[in-house]
Structure 1
Amino acid sequence: MSRFLIECTYVFHHPEMNSGIQRVVRNIINHLPKLQDEAVCIPVIFKNGKVFEVKQLAPEHADDWHGRSRRTLEKAAQKLVQVRNRYWLIHSRLLRFRPWTASHNVRRVTYILCRLASVSFVLPLYLTEWILRKTEEQPRAFEMECRADDVLVLLDSSWHADFFPVAEQLQQQGVAIVSVIYDLIPLTHPRFCDGPLVQVFDRWFDWIANTADGFIAISSTIRDEVRDEVQRRLGKERADARWFDFFHLGSELDRLDPNQSVRPAVEKIFTPGRAIYLMVSTIEPRKNHAYLLDAFERLWQNGSDVVLCFIGRIGWKNERLIERVKKHPELKRRLFMFNDLSDVELEYCYSHAKALVFPSFVEGFGLPLVEAMQRGLPVMASDIPVFHEIGGEFISYFDLNQPESLCRQVRQFEDSGIFPATQDMADWSCLSWEDSTRQLIERVGRHGVERQMQIQQHVRSECHETDHCSE
């Protein structure tokens, strides 16, 4: 039986992160044990050019001083490893040009000088790794051997990773590589991303397009985009040699600590009779918070007392928006912003709000939509294909070119009490994270079986032709 090696390197080293991809990775990994009777699934990380089996995804004391100190050292070690790898990559590229190609002595001197210069980051790296080894209470991952029939599922965000040569070596040994794709936004909508990310993501996708045996996206919308992009880069014949599929995400919040309470500042805004409209996401241009401000300003000008609440950490390219919020006359009256809510507080907001409003320009899935709907909170969202796939007729859609489109829906909801969607939320059903995990493993496994059958048919066909020719 093939083993599924589920890669979670970034989340393993950054257990404090709680944005979209980290939520997905953590929930998938935590639900793998429930599939143990159906498939052999092993969480793995890459470290120092080797594969490690993860026994515990997060440290036991992740939030105390010791845990925070270790995370700081781990981040420093990762940065130093990246510097080391890029440094020697530049060195290897220099050797392709003159005068290095023409003289062995020049190459030798350059190597010695580079070795001496590398001390500036090699010594701090060795020291950091030594401290981490000495202060580790209990190892959370152990080195393991891979088998030729293993399936490596790259679940985590790997575009900044440095394990590509190891993955290629495993593939040469027979390990199949499957890439989970969350979206292609840095390629399709680069204006919403930082410049360095666009370049890094483009190089990563070029590598994964040429390397992976299959791709599984988090929606059929993204699956189709991935197929088109791989075909554009590799050509139809090579793209057809790979498989493309999708799975959907779960909806439970996994960090609901019963010992945590909701801050009074959060509870305070949810007074009885108050209509709170939530926007839950990282604050960055793609999420289109400015559209919501425009729409709700119109509502306020027309006498409405509806409340708009932004929930999510502050991201990038948002200085003007943050300044606009902080200086807004309705701030802490009919406009609120929370950048550090716990899952307990987010659950409270979902449970006490009147609706979620989600005006994203583009998404890979839209996790807050299913989190809200799973709790019975109706959703108003931008009219984009992936939201139709996820929410169907249970969501009310508005036009991103017309803030008045959202205003009309809010007014209609406030005046009638009837949510302006075609189907009733009571009839909607969602996937749990266990369902999502099972869907991912089953679909990856199915394609693996189909792949093996194709290979066997090809071998039998070749054998038949050989026997026929020998006759």
Structure 2
Amino acid sequence: MTRLLVECTHVFLHPKVNSGIQRVVRNVINQLPDSVQGVECIAVVMLKGKLYRVLQLGALGIPFFDGLMTFGGRLERLAHRFWQLHQRLDERCTSKIARRALYVAYRLTALACFSVPLRLIERVNQYQLPKRCSPLPHQPGDQLVLLDSSWHSDFFPFAEQLKRDGVGIVAVIYDLIPLTHPQFYDARLVQVFNGWFDWITRTADGYMAISATVRDQVREQLQQRLGPANAESLWFDYFHLGSELDLREANATVEPRLTRVFETPEPVFLMVSTIEPRKNHDYLLDAFERAWACGSTARLCIAGHIGWKCDALLARVRNHPQLNQRLFMFNDLSDTSLEHAYSHASALVFPSWVEGFGLPLVEAMQRGLPAMGSDIPIFREIGGEFMAYFDLAEPQRLADLIIAFERTGQFPAARDVAQWQWIGWREASAQLVERTLRNVGQTPAVQERQHANCP
């Protein structure tokens, strides 16, 4: 019997990280059905050339180990920022001697402050493995679904061996932005992602995207790389993501500074995303500055972890004359606080240049919060007539929407967000399984619940 092996290695090793892909992986795995049409579904990880069944995806709840894991995650993020700093300094160096000295200093510092401590933490964490996973022999006919962010993983040779042993490989594609818009990322990440996509192009038997928009982009890329005839032998499909914030805690308190943002009668526009270039925060600030200049009293609340290539933006926010008056920024909100923001904001604003899905849109609209977004294909796919759209060529377009909504109280979308419907994480997980199995020929088409805008 074919089994569906859904891979979640990175989230298993870093259960405290809660960015977009990690949120997707965690929710899909937690809602994974035991079986579909007689096909067993198993959450798996690949560690040091071996396959394991996941017994517990999250941390064990033992303070020492959980604290060590949290510290390790923070240390990894700090190491990445240190590497980014080295990259920026290296680009500014014109002397070969200076660049060499900078590289040696970087390597020695990284070894002492990051590499050695992280290796020690990894060894200690090995003691948790028997309680969180167990060995799982693979079988010919198994289908391995690479759900997690695998471009920085070290299991490529093992995955290739599984394929030689008769295991099918299915790649979940979140977006192709590092390929199509490399200017938004560090050169090293672009290089790593390109290497991964080259590998997945050679390795995968099928591709499951998180939107119809990305599915079409993946098919086009494969046709260019492999030729139409070879691409025709592969399959391409998509599933949509859910919307629940699964890390909310009943007894957790909302960030006090956040509650004060919503205590005044002025409308609050919420932006939720990592702080990085393609999210287009500069356009957002330009638009609100124009609205404020016209007399708007609207507030802008920016929520999101600090990402990359955002030093100038952060300086602009921190030095802004409206900071903590009409402009607010939060970089480490819990799910409980984020839920409060979604529940009390007047509208979501999302001016991204490009997205693979746009999870905050679904999270907001599912809670009845109307959304304004850039006029890009994926937002049209998700929001349809229930969203208001603006042109990224001119910030005044968004400013006009803000002012009109503030003055009239009428949200400028063709249809009321209260009529909009979407699937939850349980249905999203089932969609992934059912559509994957349908494409590998294991089950007949299953009647699925369609949300309001599903093609």
Q: Same fold (TM over 0.5)?
A: yes
* Alignment correspondent of 2:124: 131
- Pair 1:333 & 2:325 matched: yes
State the Cα distance separating 1:274 from its structure 2 match.
2.0
Q: 2:140 aligns with which of 148, 170, 176?
A: 148
Q: 1:294 aligns with which of 279, 286, 295?
A: 286
State the Cα distance separating 1:16 from its structure 2 match.
1.0
* Distance in 1 of aligned mates of 2:122 and 2:279: 38
* Distance in 1 of aligned mates of 2:421 and 2:34: 21
* Distance in 1 of aligned mates of 2:280 and 2:120: 44
The answer to whether the 8 Å contact 1:149/1:174 transfers is: yes
* Distance in 2 of aligned mates of 1:46 and 1:252: 27
* Distance in 2 of aligned mates of 1:382 and 1:126: 43
* Alignment correspondent of 2:25: 25
State the Cα distance separating 1:3 from its structure 2 match.
0.9
- Pair 1:241 & 2:233 matched: yes
* Distance in 1 of aligned mates of 2:273 and 2:73: 27
Q: 1:443 aligns with which of 416, 435, 438?
A: 435
Alignment of 1:243-258 (within 5 A): 243-258=235-250
* Alignment correspondent of 1:107: none
Q: Percent identity?
A: 55
* Alignment correspondent of 1:110: none
* Distance in 2 of aligned mates of 1:339 and 1:146: 42
The answer to whether the 8 Å contact 2:52/2:136 transfers is: yes
Deviates most, 178-187 or 268-277: 268-277
* Alignment correspondent of 1:180: 172
The answer to whether the 8 Å contact 1:35/1:438 transfers is: no
* Distance in 2 of aligned mates of 1:197 and 1:124: 23
Alignment of 1:76-115 (within 5 A): none
* Distance in 2 of aligned mates of 1:360 and 1:241: 34
* Distance in 2 of aligned mates of 1:308 and 1:241: 49
* Distance in 2 of aligned mates of 1:372 and 1:167: 37
The answer to whether the 8 Å contact 1:13/1:71 transfers is: no
* Alignment correspondent of 1:167: 159
* Distance in 1 of aligned mates of 2:381 and 2:300: 26
* Distance in 1 of aligned mates of 2:243 and 2:368: 12
* Alignment correspondent of 1:68: 67
* Alignment correspondent of 2:344: 352
The answer to whether the 8 Å contact 2:184/2:277 transfers is: yes
Partner AA of 1:312 in structure 2: G
- CA shift in 2, pair 1:39/1:419, >3 Å: farther
* Distance in 2 of aligned mates of 1:76 and 1:269: 31
* Alignment correspondent of 2:48: 48
* Alignment correspondent of 2:89: none
* Distance in 1 of aligned mates of 2:235 and 2:172: 12
SS in 2 for 1:53: strand
* Distance in 1 of aligned mates of 2:115 and 2:339: 45
* Distance in 2 of aligned mates of 1:318 and 1:152: 36
Partner AA of 2:350 in structure 1: F
State the Cα distance separating 1:232 from its structure 2 match.
1.0
* Alignment correspondent of 2:418: 426
* Distance in 1 of aligned mates of 2:340 and 2:119: 45
Give unpaired runs (5+ residues) of structure 2. 77-113, 445-455
* Alignment correspondent of 1:5: 5
Alignment of 1:405-424 (within 5 A): 405-424=397-416
The answer to whether the 8 Å contact 1:74/1:132 transfers is: no
- Pair 1:282 & 2:274 matched: yes
Q: 1:317 aligns with which of 299, 309, 313?
A: 309
Kindly provide the CA deviation profile for residues 384-421 of structure 1, in whole angstroms up to 9, marking residues without a partner as x. Answer: 00100011010000000111111111111111111100
Alignment of 1:357-376 (within 5 A): 357-376=349-368
* Alignment correspondent of 1:464: none
SS in 1 for 2:152: coil
The answer to whether the 8 Å contact 1:307/1:334 transfers is: yes
Kindly provide the CA deviation profile for residues 239-280 of structure 1, in whole angstroms up to 9, marking residues without a partner as x. Answer: 111100111100111011111011221111101422000000
The answer to whether the 8 Å contact 2:6/2:146 transfers is: yes
Partner AA of 2:357 in structure 1: F
Moved over 3 A (4+): 33-39, 70-77, 121-134
The answer to whether the 8 Å contact 1:6/1:43 transfers is: yes
SS in 1 for 2:131: coil
Kindly provide the CA deviation profile for residues 34-75 of structure 1, in whole angstroms up to 9, marking residues without a partner as x. Answer: 65676411111111101011000011327x443131455689
How many residues align? The count is 410
The answer to whether the 8 Å contact 2:50/2:135 transfers is: yes
- CA shift in 2, pair 1:139/1:414, >3 Å: same
* Alignment correspondent of 1:461: none
State the Cα distance separating 1:2 from its structure 2 match.
1.6
Partner AA of 2:12 in structure 1: F
* Alignment correspondent of 1:94: none
Partner AA of 2:241 in structure 1: L
* Distance in 2 of aligned mates of 1:170 and 1:137: 22
- CA shift in 2, pair 1:10/1:429, >3 Å: same
State the Cα distance separating 1:173 from its structure 2 match.
1.1
* Alignment correspondent of 2:372: 380
SS in 2 for 1:165: helix
Give unpaired runs (5+ residues) of structure 1. 78-120, 453-471
* Distance in 2 of aligned mates of 1:377 and 1:218: 22
- Pair 1:218 & 2:219 matched: no
- Pair 1:390 & 2:382 matched: yes
SS in 1 for 2:320: coil
The answer to whether the 8 Å contact 2:11/2:26 transfers is: yes
* Distance in 2 of aligned mates of 1:38 and 1:257: 35
* Alignment correspondent of 1:157: 149
* Distance in 1 of aligned mates of 2:183 and 2:362: 27
Kindly provide the CA deviation profile for residues 204-236 of structure 1, in whole angstroms up to 9, marking residues without a partner as x. Answer: 101101110000100111001101111111111
* Distance in 2 of aligned mates of 1:451 and 1:263: 47
- CA shift in 2, pair 1:267/1:73, >3 Å: closer
- CA shift in 2, pair 1:450/1:237, >3 Å: farther
The answer to whether the 8 Å contact 1:152/1:177 transfers is: yes
